[in-house]
Chain A
Amino acid sequence: MKRLTFLCQSRLFFGLLTGVILPMPSWAEKAAEEKVAAQPSIAKAATTNAEPATCGLPAGQYPYYANTPEEMVPFRTLEPYYRYFTTRLPFRGPGRDYPDPPDLKSLKVGLFGPAPYGPEGARGKQTRLGVLLAFEEENASRRAGQLPFEIVEREDSPLWGSAANIAVDFKDADVLGYLGTIDGDATHVALRVTLKTETYIINTSDPDPTLMETQIPWISRVFPDDRQQCYRLADLIINRRGCKRVAILRESSRPGRVGVMHLVNDIRRLGKPAVAHLLYKPGDRSLAEQLNTIKGANPDALVFYGQPEDIGFAAALFRKSGITAQFFGFDRLKEDGFSKNAGEAAEGTTICYFFNPDRTDKPWVEFQDRFQKRWSEKAGIYAAYGYDGAKLMIEAINKSGPNRYRVRDYLANLDEWDGITGHMIFDGRNDNIAPMSMAQFKQGKWQFQPVPAITRLEKLRAAQP
Chain B
Amino acid sequence: MKFRKIINPRPLWAATVAACALLMSAGRGVGETTTEGLPFPIIERFENFGHDQGIPAHKVHVVLKTSDSKLWIGTWDGLCVREENGKFKRYGPEDGLTHKMVLCMVEDPKTGDLWIGTMRGLNKFSGGKITRYVQTDSGLPNNVVYGVDVADDKLWVATAAGAGVMDLKTGAWKIYDHTNSNMHEPWCYSIKGAKDVVFIGVWGGGILEHNPQLGTFKAYHDPDGDFHYDLVPDDGPINDITSWIAWKDGVLWQNTYFGMSRYDGKYWKTWVQDKSPLPSNFTQFAWPVGKYCWIGTDRSATVTDGTYWANYMLGDKGESILEIHRPKQAAEKRILPTGICNAFVLGIWADENEAWFATANGLSHGIFSPRPSVPKVAAAK
Interface residues of A (CB under 8 A from B): 8, 18, 20, 22-27, 29-31, 34, 65-66, 74-75, 80-85, 89-95, 98, 159-161, 163-165, 168, 171, 185, 188-189, 192-193, 196-197, 210, 213-216, 254
Contact = CB atoms under 8 A, between A and B. Distances in A.
A168 B93 CA distance: 15
A83 B228 contact: yes
22 contacts: A8-B275, A22-B329, A26-B325, A26-B330, A30-B323, A80-B224, A80-B229, A92-B282, A92-B299, A92-B344, A94-B344, A161-B144, A161-B160, A168-B119, A192-B160, A193-B144, A197-B101, A213-B227, A214-B227, A214-B241, A215-B241, A215-B282
A93 B314 CA distance: 12
B342 A94 contact: yes
Contacts of B99: 168
B186 interface: yes
Contacts of B187: 188-189, 192
B32 interface: no
Nearest to B58: A94
Contacts of B178: 160
A161 B226 contact: no
Interface string B2-22: 000000001000100100000
B204 A188 contact: yes
B180 to A, nearest CB: 13
Given A161-B142, A214-B203, 20 more contacts: A26-B325, A27-B274, A27-B325, A27-B331, A65-B228, A81-B232, A82-B230, A82-B233, A84-B229, A84-B258, A92-B298, A93-B360, A94-B344, A94-B361, A98-B58, A160-B178, A161-B160, A189-B161, A193-B119, A197-B101
Contact of B161 (A8, A24, A80, A160): A160
B227 A23 contact: no
Interface string B67-99: 000000000000000000000000000000001
A159 B282 CA distance: 30
B185 interface: yes
B159 A80 contact: no
A455 B143 CA distance: 46
Given A81-B232, A84-B227, A93-B344, A23 B161 contact: no
Interface in B21-36: none
Nearest to B274: A31
B257 interface: yes
Report whether over half of chain B's contact residues are helix, strand or loop; otherwise say mixed. loop
Interface of B: 10, 14, 17, 58, 61, 99, 101, 103, 119-120, 141-144, 159-162, 177-178, 185-187, 189, 203-204, 224, 226-233, 241, 256-259, 272-278, 280-282, 298-299, 323, 325-326, 328-331, 342-344, 360-361
A192 B189 contact: yes
A168 B135 CA distance: 14
B277 A81 contact: no
Contact of A29 (B162, B298, B328, B331): B331
Given A160-B162, A193-B144, A89 B282 contact: yes
A59 B187 CA distance: 35
Contacts of B185: 160, 185, 188, 254
Contacts of A91: 298
B199 to A, nearest CB: 19
A84 B272 CA distance: 10
A193 B120 CA distance: 11
Contacts of A25: 328, 330
B343 A81 contact: no
A94 B328 CA distance: 35
A213 B142 contact: no
B142 A164 contact: yes
The 6 closest A-B pairs by CB, nearest first: A161-B161, A26-B331, A215-B257, A164-B160, A161-B142, A31-B274
Contacts of A216: 257
Contacts of A163: 160
Given A161-B142, A215-B281, A30 B230 contact: no
B331 A164 contact: no
Contacts of B344: 92-94
Contacts of A92: 280, 282, 298-299, 343-344
Contact of A74 (B143, B204, B229, B276): B229
Contacts of A197: 101, 119
Contacts of B299: 92
Nearest to A65: B228
A23 B257 contact: no
Contacts of A210: 204, 227
Contacts of A213: 227-228
B160 A22 contact: no
A91 B120 CA distance: 25
Contacts of A80: 224, 229-232
Contacts of B159: 161, 164
Contacts of B272: 82
Given A92-B298, A188-B187, A196-B103, A164 B14 contact: no
